[in-house]
Every structure is written in C-alpha cells, then in structure tokens.
Structure 1
Amino acid sequence: MRTASPLPSVDKLLQHPRTAGLLAHYGKTQCTDAIRAALADARNQWLAAKDSQTAPGADILLDAAEQSLQQLFAPRLKAVYNLTGTVLHTNLGRALLPQEAIDAVVQALAAPSNLEYDLADGGRGDRDDLVEDLICRLTGAEAATIVNNNAAAVLLVLSTMALHKEVIVSRGELVEIGGAFRIPDVMTRAGATLVEVGTTNRTHERDYAEAISAQTAALMKVHCSNYAISGFTKSVPDADVANIAHSHQLPMIVDLGSGTLIDMRTWGLPYEVTVRETVEAGADIVTFSGDKLLGGPQAGIIVGKKSLIAQIKKNPLKRALRVGKLTLAALEPTLRLYLHPEQLADRLTTLRLFTRSAADMQQQAEVLQAPLQNALGTAYVVEPTAMSSQIGSGALPVESLPSHGLVIRSADPRRAGQLLQRLEAALRQLPRPVIGRLRQDALWLDLRCLEAANQSVFVENWEKLVLASD
C-alpha cells in the first residue's frame, strides 16, 4: 500500500527562499495559485505511478510554478518581424504607423485631451471635428465621419440610407473580404435588400437603369478586393453609375475598400483610384480604410455630401461603431503628413516600405547572409535571391513589387520538408518571432519590411535561435 504523499505543503513552498523573487514579481495571489496547480499535477502523477514512489522536490515544483507564471504574464500581442513579402499583412497588423502617430498616441495615453471638448467655447465638442477638416481637404469631400473599420462604415451607411429598401450592386462586385465577411451579408445585417445586376464578368449601364424601382434607395459600386477579373469583362465607370443614380434622384455609394489619398504612380507604384477621383466622379458617399494604403490606424472613413453625412452621424449605430481617442490620435498626424507630399515617402512608413529599392534589399541580404548562416550551421543553406513582394490587404491584388531576400534550404534534400518545418516553427518561438513563408522546398525571408534601423537587433534576435537536435 502506498504511503501518504511526500509532497511539501503550499505554505512551505511559499516560504521557500526561491519564492521570494516570484512573490515580488508576480504577487501572492498568482504565486499561490501556480504552486497549488504544480502540486496538484505532481500529486496526480505520483498517484498514477506504479513503479516508483519518488515525488518531485521543492525546486522541481517551483520550476513548474515559475514556468506557469511566466506563461500567464507573458504578453499575447508580440512584435514580430514580417518577412512574408506582404507589406499590409492583415494577420500581422497591417500598416505600421509613422513616428508622428506613435508620439501622438503616447501623449493621448498619458494626458487628458480635448476629445469631445470645444476649446473655443468651452462646450461639448464632436470627436470627428479633430480630423474632418483634414479629410475633406485631402479628398475634396464636403464632410466626413469616422468609425472603427471599413466594414463598419459600409454597415452604417447602408443602415442609414437603405433600411428596408433596395441597393443595386453589380454581381461582379459582390466581394468577400478577410474572415469570410461578404458584402451581401453586411447588406442584410444593415437591413437593406441586395439587388444584383449584370453577370460575374460583365455589367452594363442598362443593367443598373432597368433595375431601379420605387424601392431603390441607392446604387452602389464596390472596389474589387483580393482578386481581379480579366478577359471578356466590362464594368461601368463610377461617373456613369453616378449619372444614372442622379437622373433618378438617387445617391451613389462607393466602397473603395483600401482607399488611397495619393496617385501612387508618383512614386513608381501601380495605379489605384484615389478617394478624390471617386468623389469628383460624382459619388455621394465613399467609404475606405485608414490602416491600408492610407498607412494609418484601423478605421473606417466615410466621406461625402454634407447632408448625407449628417444623417449618418444621427444613426444610433454611429455611437456603437465610433472610434476612441487612440485611433483619432494616430489618424490626425498621419493625415497631416499628406499635406507635405514632398516628404511623404520618407515619413509615412507604409509608403517608405512600398518604395524601397530592390538594390537596397539585395545589399541587405548579402550583409545578412553570413550571420544567419552561422546561426543555422551546416544543416541549412542560406542564399540571397530576388523575389516579389505584394502590397496586401486586398489592394492591387495582381500587382507585385520587385524585392530581394534570403532563401533557406535544407542541406539534405531528403529531409527538406521536416527540417524546414522545424526551422519555421523555431523562428516563430524566438524572443521576437520571425515570420517568413514556406514554398518550393524552401523558407523565403523577404526583406522589404526589415528596415536598416532594425537590422542589428534582428541579427541579435536571430542568433538566439536554438534548434532541437536531430
């Protein structure tokens, strides 16, 4: 018959010399819970063992408790190195904020602000006022309002303008965005009825005109995200859809998705229609994102006719979807950078990453090859190579940016799959995880998003790489 458990008590472990540091760092409540959990696990293992009555000592139990506390207190949101080749990577947080926005957020965190306080007359203000003038100046719109993302913007617009009525949309524009959210579903939740016109690949002016009825609330255009239709295709330009809508005294809504404030061709990038061009084409309401091509925080920006924006702001959903002070703190200085286009490519982080030269990244890859090869040893081969980046988040889905980076292959082709998967997993466990992409029996590390200022820290982080023995 087995004797009573020889495990120490909770109180004895709390009084152990090693526990003093844990108590100071994590507090008595959590330390007690962690010690109790470690004792419970050890007790269950001891009772289940048939061939040994040896129980773990205090050091082993405290090791388990400390590991549990470290996991509990470790941050879940971690900085990573994005070496995927996708600049606006949805899973990695999309746009990186410019320093001006970071400084403004820190200030908003540390001090009270005039979020909804009118400094001129001492009365209550409107938080949209902090950025509305800037947005209108940059887009040519009469008015603007902000919500927490572009899907929210579309939901709010449709709920306001088309509740229990119909909205006409081309079948070729019924997109699905990330997370399986679809335009038809958003429209249904907004209380509007979708009327599809045209076909997947071709929609004509007459399709819109013939679908208009007494129940029609608006005509809507949706920017294609994450895909492109080519070949035998036709879509109706925004200006023509606006003319059809206005001839029937109806508004025209455009969901731009990403939405850019600048002609990207100025910096040698592919063309994307701007918000200003869409407004000038006759759109009455335009929605777009703040954290994609604009390069700011997550936000949904709604611009358009003053009377329509006023209606949208009165919708009770506006309160539920509004942004907080941190979003506005980051958005205002980001927008202000656009007032100085001569310096935009240097100061706006997203545009700076878009416009990095392949030659610059090639030189960087050649510098990094040796330290990375040394850290990996002989089991892998590290080679600089040309590759292609993409903008990401649905913007310009078929366009690519010439890039350069490092390709890592297994020195033993017979074990390539196993070794590369092990390496990719090990990189994700670094103090600052490194995220690349596995393809063609290699691990690809695109350097577009690794700027020179972070290069030395990246190498130090990489050198902490410890791979499990074969």
Structure 2
Amino acid sequence: MNIYKEFGARTIHNLAGASTRVGGPILAKEVADAMVNASTLSVDMTELQASASEYISKITGSESAYVTSGASAGLTMAAAAILAGLDPSKMENLPSVKDNKNEFIISREHRNGYDHAFRLAGGETIEVGMNEILSGAGVRRTEAWEYESVVNEKTAGIVYVATQDSEPPFEEVIKVAKKNNLPVIVDAAGQLPPRENLRKFIEMGADLVAFSGGKAIKGPQSSGILCGKKDYISSVALQSLDMDEYYEIWNPPSNLIDKSKISAIPRHGIGRGFKVAKEEIAGLLVALRLFIEKDINAEMANCKKYLSIIDDKIKSLPNIETSINTPSNSEEYPTLNIHTGNIDAFELCNSLKIKSGLFLNEKGLSENFMTVHPMNLSDDNIEQISDVLHNDIKEYIK
C-alpha cells in the first residue's frame, strides 16, 4: 500500500536527514503502532500531558515537561510562559504585553528564521554582539558581558540557540542570567544526538529547553519537547490545552498544573493553535523510549556501512570525489560528501530531485558538493538507492 500514491503524491528518497521539507525520519514500527493504538482509545488530554511530563522529566532531569507541536511551537510557548506566568489576565492579552516587559536578549550570531517564535508570543528580540568574523572585520565573537550591557526594566529573558560551537559558552550566559534574575530559553531543536544533551542544558541552569521530536528522536514530525521549571510548564499547559472547563469541577493533575496557584481558568490561550493530538503524544513517548534505549553505536556503524556502499558505487565516476565524515562523538551521524568538480552541484542536485526523487542535503551546494545523510537508509533500501544514485549521476555527466 502507498497512501501517497493513492492521493496523487509521489514518494521520494530522503537522503537529506531529518529535514521537515522532505518528511523527516521514517517512523519505527513501534512508533507507528503506538499511534494507531492511541487512535482507537479516548483519553483526558490534560491527564495525558501530565503522564508525558512525568516520563519526560525523568529522562531530562527537569521539574516538568510538555509535548509540543514541534520545537518552534515550544519556543513560542516558552516565551508566552515567561511573559504571562500564571496570570490568566496576562494570558488573555498575549501577544499584547501591557507592562512592556517583553524583551528577549539574543546574540546576533544566534538570529535565524525561527525568531518568529518569540515575536508570535509578544516578545521582542534584542541583539547583542557583532558578526565580525563573518564580515572579516575582527576575530571575536559575542561575549557574555554584552548580554548584561542591555539588561533593563523591559528585559523578560535570554534566548540561547545551541549548536556545537555556539558562543559565548553557555555557562557564561547562565551566570549573567542568574545575576540579573532572568530566565533562559534554550533552542536545542537539533542538538540530538548525543543523548546527554537531553539533560545537559537543564543541569547547567536553563529554565526552559526546546527539542524537536521529529529529528533524531524519530517521533512524529510535528512533535517536540519543552522541558524546564514547573511553573513555566504549567503556564504552557494553561495556554495550550482546551480550557472550556468549570473551575469548580476542574481537576488537573498537580504534577502538571497546581490549581492552588491560579485563581481562575484562562480562556483558550495563544497556544491553542499548537494543538498536539493524543496519537502524536503516544508516538513521541515511544520514540523517546527507543531513542534512549537503543544501541546507538551499532546504529552508527550500520550508517557508515550504508555510506560505504554508496561511496563504492559512485567514487569512480568522472569528476566525482567522495569523502565520508565520521564525527568524533560516536553518537553522531556520519555523512558522505559528494564533490562534483567542474559539474554544477546545484544543477546536478536539482536533476536528482526531479528525475528520481533523490533529495540530498544541500548545505554544501555553494561549495560544489552534496551530502548524503544516512538516517533513512536501511538494509531494505540501500541497494536500490545506491544504484539509482549511481545511474542518475552517470547519466547526468554524459
């Protein structure tokens, strides 16, 4: 059965990795089965999120957690929780912030298209630092003192976008935040693996951390995790769940929402549009369990084997040079770079997409190479994919 073909859409070969635009990872059978099973049963969504919070918190070491509709939604709700706290009237007003305490400090190097997430909640991003290295005008990157220099009465918090080489060091930013009593949101959407990052930022003092559920965890593509301080997660829940309840007979689980801390139930909040289905929560939880329990070194060894098969097939083609990149951290995916010599990498990459539905990682196109990410390769498809890739490149070169 091919449900996509039934409705007129073609299937593709995703060699790009976890990218949403190519459908992300293939779900494990256990994850898909969990989602189907969840679809046959009814559940109280507040109770389900409370159960998810308890399970995720044990893994991340956080006080509480919430399953979001992706990491970007998690960032919006993190900002909303900081801006509104547990005050129903403030929740009602978002994205309008009446006291104007809505500024989130962010390094200029960390700016990206996902900044929309903070503005959606009513936040304003305040840049610090300079892109001097990129502009060729200096050797220094953003430094911690620059965050402190812009703290004022409008400052609501600090945003830190985590990558393998983010600057300044996170511990220095945390010191500034604690000194000024400011919460820190960490965008760690793509920072798995390694699995240790599930706990790292919380242990270092982050107040809220957002992860994608549809990347390395291999959960539903529209799922994510927001973990952190309980009061903030309670605010997220209050602004996301269906709040069409009578306060008198509303009984939220106390590990998710402490009813004694709020005087009234807010109406549907700013996060209502980020609804997460029961099937997605079930799928995410099973995927997370598989992620933390699996033999990841064996998985990476298989990935390298698959890349070697492709490498052996295409490296002898004219103008083609290949290299397998093996990260120093054994939990991170190896990749295969295909250097195209005097062949235009943009044109070849586009030809592969159009002709055979081969979607490669395109980050290196401006430097004339394409990258094969092995996340979706398996014993079942490696021979077919390697043959199609070899034949299509060979035909294009002719």
State if a TM-score over 0.5 links the two structures: yes
Q: 1:447 to 1:169 in 2, by over 3 A?
A: closer
Q: Could you say what secondary structure the match of 2:322 adopts?
A: strand
Within 5 Å, which residues of 2 pair with 1:437-448?
A: 446=372, 448=374
Show the counterpart of 1:378: none
Show the counterpart of 1:252: 184
Q: Find 2:236's aligned residue among 309, 312, 323.
A: 312
Shift in Å at residue 427 of structure 1?
6.7
For residue 434 of structure 1, what is the amino acid of its counterpart?
A: L
In 1, Cα distance between equivalents of 2:227 and 2:32 = 25
Show the counterpart of 1:167: 103
Larger radius of gyration: 1
Show the counterpart of 1:116: 44
Show the counterpart of 2:377: 450
For residue 192 of structure 2, what is the amino acid of its counterpart?
A: T
Shift in Å at residue 455 of structure 1?
3.9
Q: Deviations over 1:225-267 (max 9, x none)?
A: 9xx68xxxx51x3333333323333322222232326447xxx
Q: Could you say what secondary structure the match of 2:308 adopts?
A: helix
Q: Could you say what secondary structure the match of 2:62 adopts?
A: coil
Shift in Å at residue 424 of structure 1?
6.3
Shift in Å at residue 422 of structure 1?
9.2
Show the counterpart of 1:337: 290
Shift in Å at residue 73 of structure 1?
5.9
In 1, Cα distance between equivalents of 2:359 and 2:172 = 44
1:328 aligns with 2:256: no
Show the counterpart of 2:8: 75
Show the counterpart of 1:156: 77
% same residue: 20
Q: 1:345 to 1:426 in 2, by over 3 A?
A: closer
Q: Deviations over 1:7-52 (max 9, x none)?
A: xxxxxxxxxxxxxxxxxxxxxxxxxxxxxxxxxxxxxxxxxxxxxx
Q: Deviations over 1:415-451 (max 9, x none)?
A: x88xx96996487455xx33357979x9978483432
Asked if 2 retains the 8 angstrom alpha-carbon contact of 1:258 and 1:289, the reply is: yes
In 2, Cα distance between equivalents of 1:212 and 1:190 = 20
Asked if 1 retains the 8 angstrom alpha-carbon contact of 2:324 and 2:337, the reply is: yes
For residue 330 of structure 1, what is the amino acid of its counterpart?
A: G
Asked if 2 retains the 8 angstrom alpha-carbon contact of 1:143 and 1:304, the reply is: yes
In 1, Cα distance between equivalents of 2:359 and 2:11 = 11
Q: Find 1:403's aligned residue among 323, 336, 352.
A: 336
Q: 1:128 to 1:357 in 2, by over 3 A?
A: closer
Show the counterpart of 2:160: 221
Asked if 1 retains the 8 angstrom alpha-carbon contact of 2:307 and 2:324, the reply is: no
For residue 302 of structure 2, what is the amino acid of its counterpart?
A: R
Q: Could you say what secondary structure the match of 1:249 adopts?
A: coil
For residue 362 of structure 1, what is the amino acid of its counterpart?
A: S
Q: 1:101 to 1:383 in 2, by over 3 A?
A: farther
Q: Deviations over 1:134-169 (max 9, x none)?
A: 211111001011221211111122123134323342
Shift in Å at residue 220 of structure 1?
2.5
Asked if 2 retains the 8 angstrom alpha-carbon contact of 1:361 and 1:404, the reply is: no
Show the counterpart of 1:292: 215
**Total equivalences in the alignment:** 333
Q: Which has the higher contact order (CA 8 A, sep 6+)?
A: 2
In 2, Cα distance between equivalents of 1:165 and 1:295 = 37
In 1, Cα distance between equivalents of 2:187 and 2:286 = 24
Shift in Å at residue 401 of structure 1?
3.1
Asked if 1 retains the 8 angstrom alpha-carbon contact of 2:195 and 2:292, the reply is: no
Shift in Å at residue 331 of structure 1?
0.5
Asked if 2 retains the 8 angstrom alpha-carbon contact of 1:130 and 1:328, the reply is: no
For residue 387 of structure 1, what is the amino acid of its counterpart?
A: S
- The answer for unaligned runs of 5 or more in structure 2 is 84-96, 132-139, 240-268
For residue 435 of structure 1, what is the amino acid of its counterpart?
A: F
Shift in Å at residue 276 of structure 1?
0.9
Show the counterpart of 1:137: 58
CA RMSD, 1 decimal: 4.4
Q: Could you say what secondary structure the match of 1:453 adopts?
A: coil
Q: 1:295 to 1:203 in 2, by over 3 A?
A: same
Q: Could you say what secondary structure the match of 1:356 adopts?
A: helix
Q: 1:199 to 1:388 in 2, by over 3 A?
A: same
Shift in Å at residue 100 of structure 1?
1.4
Show the counterpart of 2:263: none
Q: Could you say what secondary structure the match of 1:202 adopts?
A: coil
Show the counterpart of 1:242: 174
Asked if 2 retains the 8 angstrom alpha-carbon contact of 1:134 and 1:336, the reply is: no
Show the counterpart of 2:93: none
For residue 224 of structure 2, what is the amino acid of its counterpart?
A: G
Shift in Å at residue 191 of structure 1?
1.1
Q: Deviations over 1:258-284 (max 9, x none)?
A: 2326447xxxxxxxxx13110011111
Asked if 2 retains the 8 angstrom alpha-carbon contact of 1:197 and 1:208, the reply is: yes
Shift in Å at residue 97 of structure 1?
2.1
Q: 1:362 to 1:463 in 2, by over 3 A?
A: closer
Asked if 1 retains the 8 angstrom alpha-carbon contact of 2:184 and 2:206, the reply is: yes
Q: Find 1:207's aligned residue among 146, 167, 174.
A: 146
Q: Could you say what secondary structure the match of 2:47 adopts?
A: coil
In 1, Cα distance between equivalents of 2:128 and 2:54 = 36
1:356 aligns with 2:302: yes
Normalising by structure 1, we get a TM-score of 0.58
1:279 aligns with 2:220: no
Q: Could you say what secondary structure the match of 1:317 adopts?
A: coil
Q: Deviations over 1:172-224 (max 9, x none)?
A: 34421xxxx341x4333321233323333533333333322222222222225
Show the counterpart of 2:246: none
